[in-house]
Amino acid sequence: MRALTHPDLDQVDVTMILHALSDPVRLKIVRELAENGCYCGELDVPVKPATLSHHLKVLREAGLIRVHAEGSRRWHELRCDELGERFPGLIDTVLAAPALAVRT
């Protein structure tokens, strides 16, 4: 399994994060990961696996999530503490906002 890179949060700016959160599917993924990390196949989003992989890549490259390989599976988790230090209140505000409906 190919190793994934994660940006250092000092290299991430708020526009990258807001762009990643601008899609309702990615916002739903972040909301699910805020409750608890999970494996890719456990996410409850109405998209095909290839599309889900794309959304997870956008979130990872924006610095929102961290991915760990565990055997042949990947564990995804929100970088809450790190993001809270770099952008105080941002993730809490995003999570507190009313959820958007995800269209299929």
pLDDT at 6: 87
The answer to whether 57 and 6 are in contact (CB under 8 A) is: no
Rounded Cα–Cα distance for residues 42 and 20 (Å): 20
Residue 102 domain flag: no
The answer to whether 66 and 6 are in contact (CB under 8 A) is: yes
**101 pLDDT higher than 80:** no
How many domains does one find in the chain? 1
Residue 2 domain flag: no
pLDDT band at 99 (very low <50, low <70, confident <90, very high): confident
Residue 43 domain flag: yes
In the chain, what is the straight-line distance between the N-terminal and C-terminal CA atoms, in Å? 30
Residue 76 domain flag: yes
pLDDT at 62: 96
Q: What are 28-86's pLDDT values in tens digits? A: 999 999 989 999 889 989 999 999 999 999 999 999 999 998 888 999 999 999 999 99
CATH (domain of 53): 1.10.10.10
The boundaries of the domain holding residue 44 are 10-96
Residue 29 domain flag: yes
Show the tokens assigned to 66. Answer: 């961290």
